[in-house]
Amino acid sequence: MFSHIKKLQYTAKPTTPDPVYAKKLQEILGGQYGEISVMMQYLFQGWNCRATGKYKDMLLDIGTEEIAHVEMLATMIAQLLDNAPVQDQEAGAKDPVIEAVLGGMNPQHAIVNGLGAQPNDSAGYPWNARYTISSGNLLADFRANLNAESQGRLQAVRLYEIATDPGVKDMLSFLIARDTMHQNQWMAAIEELEQKQGAVVPSTFNAEKQKQDVAYAFMNFSEGEESKAGRWASGTSMDGKGNFEYIQNPQANGQNPSLMPAPIYIHGTPPLQ
């Protein structure tokens, strides 16, 4: 059960309207690595988690917080759109000052959303549930979560750097700080699970069933040998169960592919003699 508190988690109030920046801010709301994505990803991982206890609780804790971040961004975008009616864009053709301010405005903010935010990215592409991952394997999911927070913090920092409004920068500084915590959180959870289960997902698969001769072989498919200097090319493997091997000229060991002609009803190209 969720209960809404009317106060935002943190202040989301710009100093002045800026419809152009509102369009940019849509990216960390409805983009691939935006707050809607992590909100849905964490909540579904929590709801689908069959292991009750701290991991399920933690997922639902952070997923619930991300709902608050969605509300903060939607509120900020709506306020950045204040005093920006559609007709002002038409006036831009006559007034260079207005054109400079509103020329890059997302017209859907006014026409479709009534000067409100939308669950789209900065290019207007709708948010997609396929951005989210909920596999049922917590180690695999937590690694995906770490990637999401890394990309999300990167984008928030880039938006911070191009922002000029002190109110916007203040809100972004809060979101950036929370992304710092969330990255640390996922790294801590990943480390804990790796100590219990091992580093390779899934840990429940019998490793003897995999081709052991290539399980720890790094194959160089590039000119030169620069990649040989990497940690992945020699020494003990990260899971501690093998030794990395560097292969300079990987050989093709499979068969030459040969496919049967398609049945006549498929109307493909007949075999060429």
For 214, the domain range is: 207-247
Using the structure block, give the residue that is written with the tokens 């020329």: 103
User: Is residue 272 situated within a structural domain?
Assistant: no
Is pLDDT of 139 > 90?
Answer: yes
Are the beta carbons of 145 and 38 closer than 8 angstroms? yes
Q: What is the CATH number of the domain that holds 59?
A: 1.20.1260.10
Please report the pLDDT score of residue 147 as a whole number. Answer: 98
DSSP sequence for the chain: -----SS-SS----SS--HHHHHHHTHHHHSTTSHHHHHHHHHHHHHH--STTHHHHHHHHHHHHHHHHHHHHHHHHHHHTTT--HHHHHHTTT-HHHHHHHTT--HHHHHTTSS---SB-TTSPBP-GGG----S-HHHHHHHHHHHHHHHHHHHHHHHHH---HHHHHHHHHHHHHHHHHHHHHHHHHHHHHHHH-SSSPTTS-GGGS-GGGTTEEE--SSSSGGGGSGGGSEE-TTSSSEEEEESSPPP-SPPP--PPPPGGG--PPPP-
Is pLDDT of 136 > 80?
Answer: yes
164, 239: one domain: no
Which structure tokens are listed for 10?
């943190």
127, 228: one domain: no
Please report the pLDDT score of residue 103 as a whole number. Answer: 65
User: Is residue 60 situated within a structural domain?
Assistant: yes
163, 211: one domain: no
Is pLDDT of 99 > 60?
Answer: no
193, 220: one domain: no
Q: How confident is the model at residue 111 (pLDDT cuts 50, 70, 90)?
A: confident
Q: Work out how many domains the chain is built from and give that number.
A: 2
Q: How confident is the model at residue 272 (pLDDT cuts 50, 70, 90)?
A: confident
Taking the C-alpha atoms of residue 37 and residue 55, their distance in angstroms, rounded to an integer, is 19
35, 150: one domain: yes
User: Is residue 106 situated within a structural domain?
Assistant: yes
User: Is residue 190 situated within a structural domain?
Assistant: yes
Are the beta carbons of 28 and 121 closer than 8 angstroms? no
The values of phi and psi at residue 259, to 5°, are -105, 145
239, 112: one domain: no
**Helix pair 166-197, 138-162: axis angle to 10 deg:** 160
Mean pLDDT value of segment 134-149? 97
β-bridge mates for residue 207, sequence order: none
Quick one: which of 169, 167, 173, 175 has its CA closest to 14?
A: 167
Is pLDDT of 86 > 90?
Answer: no
Is pLDDT of 14 > 70?
Answer: yes
Which structure tokens are listed for 268?
């493909």
- List, for residues 192-214, the tens digit of each pLDDT value: 999 999 999 998 888 889 899 99
113, 230: one domain: no
Please report the pLDDT score of residue 89 as a whole number. Answer: 53
- List, for residues 157-176, the tens digit of each pLDDT value: 999 999 999 999 999 999 99
The percent of residues above 70 in pLDDT, for the chain, comes to 92
For 80, residues 6+ apart whose C-beta sits below 8 A from its C-beta are 14, 17, 18, 19, 21, 22, 25, 168
- List, for residues 22-70, the tens digit of each pLDDT value: 999 999 999 999 999 999 999 999 999 998 899 999 999 999 999 999 9
Higher model confidence: residue 270 or residue 156? Answer: 156
Please report the pLDDT score of residue 233 as a whole number. Answer: 96
- List, for residues 214-250, the tens digit of each pLDDT value: 999 999 999 999 999 999 999 999 999 999 999 999 9
241, 148: one domain: no
Please report the pLDDT score of residue 182 as a whole number. Answer: 98
Taking the C-alpha atoms of residue 221 and residue 247, their distance in angstroms, rounded to an integer, is 9
Mean of per-residue pLDDT scores for the chain: 92
